[in-house]
Structure 1
Amino acid sequence: MIWILLFVFVSYGMIILGFAIKIKHAGTFDNHTRAHRNRFTVIVPFRNESKNLPRLLASLATIDYPTSNWELILVNDDSTDNSLEVIDQCLRSYQISNVIIINNLRATASPKKDALQTAINKGTHNWIVTTDADCYVPTQWLATLDAAIQQEQPLMVIMPVAIATTAQPTLLTAYEQLDFLSLMGATAGSFYFGLPFLCNGANLAYDKDAFVKVQGFANNDHIASGDDHFLLEKFQETFKNKISYLRSPDAIVTTQPQELWSAFIAQRTRWAAKSSAYTFWFSKLMGLLVVSVNLMSGLGLIYLAFAKAETQSLIIIALLLKIIADGILIATEAQFHKKLNYLKWYPIVMICYPFLSTYIALKSLTSSYQWKGRYYTK
């Protein structure tokens, strides 16, 4: 049994270290393109986001890209707060003119996918760019994306996302930062490995004609989340060599941290709930490996107090493999995102992570969850 544990941990460690090595060798994107050629439809679904929309719209107002080459579609997903009034005030204050506000046309069990599909049908440009209402974007966001498309000719572009920093870090904010850096590392590393299996709809772009060719969100619109992941799987199957990863500081979209542990767990449960419907073999493998390693890590930490000396040594070796591999990948991303200061939290987060991660994985398989005031069941 111990040797099986070691095999699993060695396999996991090799893959995670492979991600980190590939990221280091890849470097960052060099934007040497000056002419703006592509046209973008930026889509932002929102539901009760009056608190966050001013920040997003303020950032979009500073976009350094010709307004004739991009449009913004805001999709109201049945908001019950004063989001529309806030949007109206912001548009007048920031003098943003290339904006369309529409209502979500519900057709499936996934409000987010419906909102995106509604906007895609309404959009006039051939490149779709998605972000979320609780995000803000950098000034050179679209210019950098345009350059990457010109240089690499992809049909989908995966881009990095960061969690906003807080003035006084807590265990929750540190845990979320390191957890998200790990996800971003796996996102970038798996792409450079030739097996992209993660992306984030808060910063994703794809060709509209290609979206139509892969039938968009069809066949997975019964799942509440996963508008990004399942679309990536479809592009991976149909346009395998036409997916790019845009690793540039000028392409990082920043999202807001969760303020409560309950909100964080609900968010992660929603993300994990779609995993049983993955079709890409590497997605399934990584999902199984991550759950297995975290479950074994938690049990191993508990069992250390009771095991014999020889068994304790093997457990410690296995745990060290995970700690070192994860630490290197997280440190690689922390350097890119300029968040090295969060690494001091790594020891305590490392102890908590196996237990919380396993709890969320089990919860996603057995429980319903609430998000944006809506309840979703398995």
Structure 2
Amino acid sequence: MIILEIAFYVFIVTVGIQLVFYGIIFNSLPRHQSVTPHQKNISVSVIICAKNEADNLRTFLPSIMAQAYSDFEVVLINDNSKDDTLEVLEHFKEKHRNIKIVNVKPIEKFWGNKKYALTLGIKAATHNFLLFTDADCKPRSRYWIQEMSSHFTNEKTIVLGYGAYEKVKGSFLNKLIRYETFLTAIQYLSYASLGQPYMAVGRNLAYRKEQFFEANGFMQHMHLKSGDDDLFINQTATASNTTICISKESFTESIPKQSIKDWTLQKRRHISTANYYKLRHKIFLASFYCSQLLFWLLAIVLMSFMFQWKLVLSLIVLRFIIQLINLFLASKKLDENDLPFLSPVLELFLIAFQFFIFIKNMISKPEYWK
């Protein structure tokens, strides 16, 4: 059948594209040499924006304050919280001299906009070197600030880190969330190591204060509710000013969503910002996703009709071998050793989930960051 012949040749091209991604592009992360930089004693401002995060702050803020670093302040931004967030922040400030509180009152123009709150926090920061994380995050070690800040140089003004999610035993949703986070990190860290940085996650990101003001802050995308991390990096990061930090002591860990509904809302906000990436980055990301989708669809169709099944099966096996090898190597770097072995199943669910999100965002747009 002519349709199956066309599908067969498209499948060959699709497998080739997938091999380029997994075998070459994403292989740059496992090959990345983590050179231990000279430890610097630069002054660092850790910035945390909190909205209705009283319980998480009680739990995770102590791990920030216990960092083994000589000169840092913590700028805590209360973004018009309705719970006890401000009271919790004031309680910590009574115990720690290096805490600064920024209490944000809403204004009509920037109502519910995290970027407005972050801008006020950045302006209030004492130091030029800024390190960002979230209220529901904790560093995995006491050397998080030291590891991330040590990668700053005269040229490197942006440092991309890895923000993992906590493992929940026996939860398939948790593995799916962590796999999506792991795969996203492989992409943005690999591209950054190849000189094409395009995004970061606000759970673990550092840049100079002057970098923020030189880029005119978030003004290019202030009208969007999301993107304080990925859109800002997409706008400002270059091969010359960006580096990555993937030492295990530099990782942060967050609480994952507990329901598919909450995770869907979170990912809708995140994915909606990709439309505003630079064209070449959108092409990279779309090519990877489309090749994933086509690989599964065409593999199922061709094998169902047993069309050139020996060759098709060989290509399927080859693609999975290359994928698993590189995911396994990347998992060693990012300390996600339990994920590669489940990748075929997790990948299939993730493709379907992302397609659902894409359709959902076409119908309606997510509004607020919380």
**Cα distance 1:303–1:243, how it changes in 2: closer, same or farther (>3 A)?**
same
Counterpart in 2 of 1:376? Answer: none
- Distance of 1:241 and 1:191 partners within structure 2: 10
- 1:366 and 2:368 aligned: no
- Distance of 2:115 and 2:216 partners within structure 1: 13
Counterpart of 1:119, as a letter, is: G
Counterpart in 2 of 1:15? Answer: 21
Given that 1:197 and 1:232 are in contact with CA atoms closer than 8 Å, whether structure 2 keeps it comes out as yes
- Distance of 2:312 and 2:53 partners within structure 1: 46
**Cα distance 1:161–1:322, how it changes in 2: closer, same or farther (>3 A)?**
farther
Matches within 5 A, 1:150-229: 150=153, 153-166=155-168, 168-229=169-230
284-293 or 134-143, larger mean C-alpha shift: 284-293
Given that 1:29 and 1:247 are in contact with CA atoms closer than 8 Å, whether structure 2 keeps it comes out as no
Given that 1:109 and 1:223 are in contact with CA atoms closer than 8 Å, whether structure 2 keeps it comes out as no
Counterpart in 1 of 2:32? Answer: 26
Given that 2:14 and 2:294 are in contact with CA atoms closer than 8 Å, whether structure 1 keeps it comes out as no
Structure 1 residue 131 displacement after superposition: 0.8
Matches within 5 A, 1:47-86: 47-66=51-70, 69-86=71-88
Partner secondary structure for residue 339 of structure 2: helix
Q: Deviations over 1:306-337 (max 9, x none)?
A: x5322656765665565445433432232123
Q: Deviations over 1:74-108 (max 9, x none)?
A: 1111211122233344455xx32211112235543
- Distance of 2:277 and 2:15 partners within structure 1: 23
Counterpart in 2 of 1:351? Answer: 348
Counterpart of 1:118, as a letter, is: L
- 1:269 and 2:273 aligned: no
- 1:293 and 2:291 aligned: yes
Counterpart in 1 of 2:135? Answer: 133
Aligned pair count?
361
Q: 1:43 aligned to 23, 35, 47, which one?
A: 47
Given that 2:11 and 2:299 are in contact with CA atoms closer than 8 Å, whether structure 1 keeps it comes out as no
Structure 1 residue 157 displacement after superposition: 0.9
Counterpart of 1:251, as a letter, is: S
Counterpart of 2:342, as a letter, is: W
Structure 1's unaligned 5+ residue stretches are 374-378
- Distance of 2:332 and 2:16 partners within structure 1: 25
Q: 2:12 aligned to 1, 6, 12, which one?
A: 6
- Distance of 2:173 and 2:332 partners within structure 1: 21
Given that 2:72 and 2:98 are in contact with CA atoms closer than 8 Å, whether structure 1 keeps it comes out as yes
Counterpart in 1 of 2:332? Answer: 335
Q: Deviations over 1:20-62 (max 9, x none)?
A: 43222223241442x51x2222111111112211232111121
- Distance of 2:29 and 2:369 partners within structure 1: 35
Identity within the alignment, %: 20
Counterpart in 2 of 1:260? Answer: 259
**Cα distance 1:55–1:153, how it changes in 2: closer, same or farther (>3 A)?**
farther
Counterpart of 2:115, as a letter, is: K
Partner secondary structure for residue 369 of structure 1: coil
Structure 1 residue 145 displacement after superposition: 2.4
- Distance of 2:134 and 2:114 partners within structure 1: 10
Structure 2's unaligned 5+ residue stretches are 1-5
**CA RMSD across the alignment:** 2.5
- Distance of 1:221 and 1:322 partners within structure 2: 41
Partner secondary structure for residue 30 of structure 1: coil
Partner secondary structure for residue 221 of structure 2: coil
- Distance of 1:324 and 1:365 partners within structure 2: 35
Q: Deviations over 1:357-378 (max 9, x none)?
A: 21122223332336565xxxxx
Counterpart in 1 of 2:246? Answer: 247
- Distance of 2:318 and 2:216 partners within structure 1: 41
**Cα distance 1:328–1:361, how it changes in 2: closer, same or farther (>3 A)?**
farther
**Cα distance 1:279–1:109, how it changes in 2: closer, same or farther (>3 A)?**
farther
- Distance of 2:368 and 2:170 partners within structure 1: 25
Given that 2:45 and 2:127 are in contact with CA atoms closer than 8 Å, whether structure 1 keeps it comes out as yes
Question: TM-score, normalising length from structure 1?
Answer: 0.86
Structure 1 residue 130 displacement after superposition: 1.1
Structure 1 residue 230 displacement after superposition: 1.7
Given that 1:182 and 1:333 are in contact with CA atoms closer than 8 Å, whether structure 2 keeps it comes out as no
Given that 2:51 and 2:81 are in contact with CA atoms closer than 8 Å, whether structure 1 keeps it comes out as yes
Q: Deviations over 1:204-237 (max 9, x none)?
A: 111111221121111211111111122112223x
Question: TM-score, normalising length from structure 2?
Answer: 0.88
